[in-house]
């Protein structure tokens, strides 16, 4: 985790972008010695920050590194709680696993685990999620909403909207959402979301939202069997994407939507979600634990439950399923 | 965790209680050397088992230790899956914490964590649970029922029935259940149950049932502020209780009720639960997150939800509350 001092240093540059900040100014602001400031600036340089240092003027951040360390993500971050505590790891089994432990040990709401690589990333129902090094955003976010357990699936839809908006913000492409948790571009998967809970039998302790975004993979990076179903933001937009920009944007959007949700309920999220939904009005097949339903997707209920009208005109409410578009 | 060999050895003595078993017989049965058998018998002796060894006849277990190691619990255990994998610890923060990790790492259904002491034991809503060394049963049980998340609270009621029956079996007292998770004797708390979940937004991965039973504490062992509200099986029955007997009995009862539940649903559990319930027909006050309800407890619904009829005759369904008896 980042030290408070490091956080304050980065925030100073965030709030004075492109300006030179002197060692003395930074030392006074943070309440430490100029030597301490200098040491932290050297640490940032080692992490890959490019710094310009001019005598009598001070330091300026010229270029940020390609990786997504806590420092890099914090540079430019303006959230209140989301991402204010970042656990950055080079390589992990899965960010969900670490976030589960942190959540159990009372980590603050908005705590995030970010990794450059997952060697055992998982999606819904324990499916494998391919998470190669330095190419994607693999992260887990801890929330502690005071909502009844049955409403938890709404947070998957909320997170999907936040990620779609973040993708719109940092690229030129507009993705679509496939109920409940996939984000597609041109019909191929670019993001998966996994919402998990720790709860007492009748009360949520924490919600852990895992988000995997394929960012800078090229088609040749994918194993053969994934090429027809997966894509990346870089493939679809034709340019390299700065992952830290994407993460900060996702934090901003998610925090905003989450506060809206806690205040106004699910309705505003539902309306946003439907505006991005790919399946509405289309014929789909929903595979549930108790069998398959084929019909036209009508939308979602005010609680986020998928409505399907089958060929006999009967409307089904689907709480949990895999969806196939026709 | 116990080795397979150790388990087989203990099972052999379980299935031939009070008989002498020769080293050669045990070696043949398990498929190891007589030296290996001898080493394991020495290990048992160190754990506190009293062994009788007679030339040409073999070994016999004369007396089992006072602690509750995996070996001690296994001696006499006849369940199919519950307690077939036991993680025994001298001292832990809480057994729930360890069980959560094991559950996340795909531990088998029925895996149990047992500790002689918890230094940070917790009850519902993060309340402290006093768990001093060698005097109680502090354990967590991992189940993986294929049930919808809203039914999870039923497992708290199921576990309460199992523990009441186990207490009846090893002592002469009959405890009562206070909805949802406390077990009382003469109005004082002897057991608390904490049911927690790990889940995807729409699917249970695991249920972790924490059970704390006050067994051999004496009144002077309790801090002043607990003496009017807490008691132990030993205080109430006037004798020392063998904790391993109690644990085995709880495993047997819980496995039996759990299988009944998965096959027949909640109804048989409801009927058993009501037969032990202390509050039914009595005036109670239920403190919920949204306020207090005072009225007569009518019983529980077919889903395990508490029904209270207030003084104006309106029946409330209470999903989550603290109950105070009048």
Q: pLDDT digit string (tens) for A124-134?
A: 877 888 888 88
B155 plus B124 within the same structural domain: yes
**CATH number for position A41:** 1.10.10.10
Mean pLDDT throughout A220-245?
Answer: 92
Rg over alpha carbons for chain A, rounded to the nearest Å, is 21
**How far is the alpha carbon of A211 from chain B, nearest alpha carbon, in Å?**
14
**What 3-state class would DSSP assign to B33?**
coil
**A200·B125 Cβ contact <8 A:** yes
Compute the distance between CA of residue A107 and CA of residue A186 in angstroms, rounded to an integer: 38
Mean pLDDT throughout B77-104?
Answer: 96
CA B41 to each of CA A308, B2, B44, B72: distance values in angstroms, whole numbers, following the listed order = 64, 14, 5, 13
Of the three residues A236, A252, A276, the one that is the final residue of a domain is: A276
**How far is the alpha carbon of A51 from chain B, nearest alpha carbon, in Å?**
43
Mean pLDDT throughout B204-220?
Answer: 95
Mutation for testing the B interface, residue in A193, A201, A286 having most B CBs under 10 Å: A201
Compute the distance between CA of residue B93 and CA of residue B98 in angstroms, rounded to an integer: 9
A231 plus A312 within the same structural domain: no
A198 plus A81 within the same structural domain: yes
Mutation for testing the A interface, residue in B92, B199, B201, B323 having most A CBs under 10 Å: B201
Q: Which of B216, B212, B210 is nearest to B243 (CA)?
A: B216
Please provide residue A115's backbone torsions phi and psi, each rounded to the nearest 5 degrees.
-135, 150
Please provide residue B210's backbone torsions phi and psi, each rounded to the nearest 5 degrees.
-95, 135
A190 plus A253 within the same structural domain: yes
C-alpha distance across the termini of chain A, in Å: 46
Over 90: is that where the pLDDT of A234 sits? Answer: yes
B218 plus B271 within the same structural domain: yes
Chain A residue at shortest CA distance from B318: A202
Give the domain range for residue A38. 4-63
A19 plus A98 within the same structural domain: no
Q: Which of A101, A196, A202 sits opposite B320 (nearest CB)?
A: A202
Cis amide leading into B50 (omega within 30): no
Please provide residue B75's backbone torsions phi and psi, each rounded to the nearest 5 degrees.
-70, 100
**Cβ neighbours of A141 in B, within 8 Å:** none
A58 plus A74 within the same structural domain: no
Per-chain mean pLDDT for chain B: 92
Compute the distance between CA of residue A75 and CA of residue A14 in angstroms, rounded to an integer: 5
CB atoms within 10 A of CB A44: 23
Q: Which of B229, B47, B37 is nearest to B129 (CA)?
A: B229
DSSP A164-207: HHHHHHHSS---EEETTTEEEETTEEEEEEEEEEEEETTEEEEE
Packed helices A23-30 and A34-47: angle between N→C axes, nearest 10 degrees: 100
**A201·B200 Cβ contact <8 A:** no
Of the three residues A276, A292, A312, the one that is the final residue of a domain is: A276
**CATH number for position A305:** 2.30.30.100
**Cβ neighbours of B155 in A, within 8 Å:** 201
A31 plus A154 within the same structural domain: no
- How many structural domains are present in chain A? 3
Q: Which of B97, B104, B152 sits opposite A201 (nearest CB)?
A: B152
Please provide residue A70's backbone torsions phi and psi, each rounded to the nearest 5 degrees.
-55, -40
Residue B96: pLDDT band by 50, 70, 90 thresholds?
very high
B216 plus B190 within the same structural domain: yes
**CATH number for position B198:** 3.30.930.10
Per-chain mean pLDDT for chain A: 92
Q: Which of B97, B150, B199 sits opposite A196 (nearest CB)?
A: B199
- Residues in CB range of A60: below 8 A, 6 or more apart: A13, A18, A19, A20, A21, A51, A52, A53, A54
B287 plus B268 within the same structural domain: no
**Cβ neighbours of B205 in A, within 8 Å:** 196
**B201·A100 Cβ contact <8 A:** no
Compute the distance between CA of residue A224 and CA of residue A226 in angstroms, rounded to an integer: 6
Q: For B310-321, write each residue's pLDDT tens digit.
A: 999 999 999 888
**A124·B200 Cβ contact <8 A:** yes
Q: B306-312 long-range CB contacts below 8 Å, 24 or more apart? A: B306/B179, B306/B180, B308/B284
Cα dihedral sign, B313-B154-B196-B181: positive
CA A273 to chain centre: 16
Q: Which of A318, A87, A93, A100 is nearest to A197 (CA)?
A: A100
Residue B124 assigned ligand-binding role: yes
**How far is the alpha carbon of A222 from chain B, nearest alpha carbon, in Å?**
27
Residue B167: pLDDT band by 50, 70, 90 thresholds?
very high
Residue A187: pLDDT band by 50, 70, 90 thresholds?
very high
Residue A290: pLDDT band by 50, 70, 90 thresholds?
confident
A108 plus A20 within the same structural domain: no
**Cβ neighbours of A195 in B, within 8 Å:** 200-201
**Cβ neighbours of B152 in A, within 8 Å:** 149, 199, 201-202
**Cβ neighbours of A306 in B, within 8 Å:** none
**How far is the alpha carbon of A200 from chain B, nearest alpha carbon, in Å?**
4
CA A204 to chain centre: 21
Of the three residues A63, A89, A111, the one that is the final residue of a domain is: A63
Q: For B295-308, write each residue's pLDDT tens digit.
A: 999 999 988 999 99
Q: For B75-85, write each residue's pLDDT tens digit.
A: 999 999 999 99
CA B128 to chain centre: 18
Cα angle A87-A91-A93, degrees, rounded to a multiple of 5: 95
**What 3-state class would DSSP assign to A24?**
helix
Q: Which of B97, B100, B201 sits opposite A152 (nearest CB)?
A: B201
B88 plus B209 within the same structural domain: yes
Structure ipTM: 0.79
């Amino acid at each position: 985790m980042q030290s408070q001092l490091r956080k304050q240093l980065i925030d100073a540059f965030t709030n004075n972008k492109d300006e030179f900040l002197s060692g003395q100014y930074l030392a006074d602001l943070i309440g430490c010695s100029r030597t301490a400031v200098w040491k932290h600036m050297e640490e940032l340089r080692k992490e890959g920050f490019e710094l310009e240092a001019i005598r009598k003027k001070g330091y300026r951040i010229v270029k940020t590194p390609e990786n997504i360390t806590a420092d890099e993500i914090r540079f430019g971050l303006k959230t209140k709680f989301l991402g204010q505590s970042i656990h950055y790891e080079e390589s992990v089994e899965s960010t969900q696993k670490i976030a589960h432990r942190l959540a159990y040990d009372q980590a603050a709401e908005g705590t995030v685990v970010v990794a450059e690589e997952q060697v055992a990333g998982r999606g819904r129902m324990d499916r494998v999620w391919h998470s190669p090094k330095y190419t994607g955003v693999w992260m887990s976010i801890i929330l502690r909403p005071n909502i009844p357990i049955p409403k938890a699936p709404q947070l998957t839809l909320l997170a999907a909207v936040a990620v779609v908006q973040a993708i719109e913000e940092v690229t030129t492409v507009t993705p679509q959402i496939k109920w409940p948790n996939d984000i597609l571009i041109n019909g191929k998967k670019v993001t998966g979301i996994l919402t998990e809970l720790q709860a007492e039998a009748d009360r949520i302790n924490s919600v852990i939202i895992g988000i995997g975004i394929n960012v800078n993979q090229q088609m040749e990076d994918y194993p053969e069997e994934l090429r027809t179903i997966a894509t990346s933001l870089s493939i679809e937009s034709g340019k390299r994407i700065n992952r830290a920009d994407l993460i900060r944007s996702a934090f901003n959007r998610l925090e905003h939507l989450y506060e809206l949700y806690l205040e106004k309920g699910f309705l505003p999220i539902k309306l946003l979600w439907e505006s991005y939904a790919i399946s509405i009005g289309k014929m789909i097949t929903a595979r549930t634990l108790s069998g398959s339903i084929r019909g036209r997707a009508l939308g979602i209920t005010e609680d986020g439950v998928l409505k399907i009208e089958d060929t006999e005109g009967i409307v089904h409410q689907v709480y949990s399923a895999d969806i196939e578009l026709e």
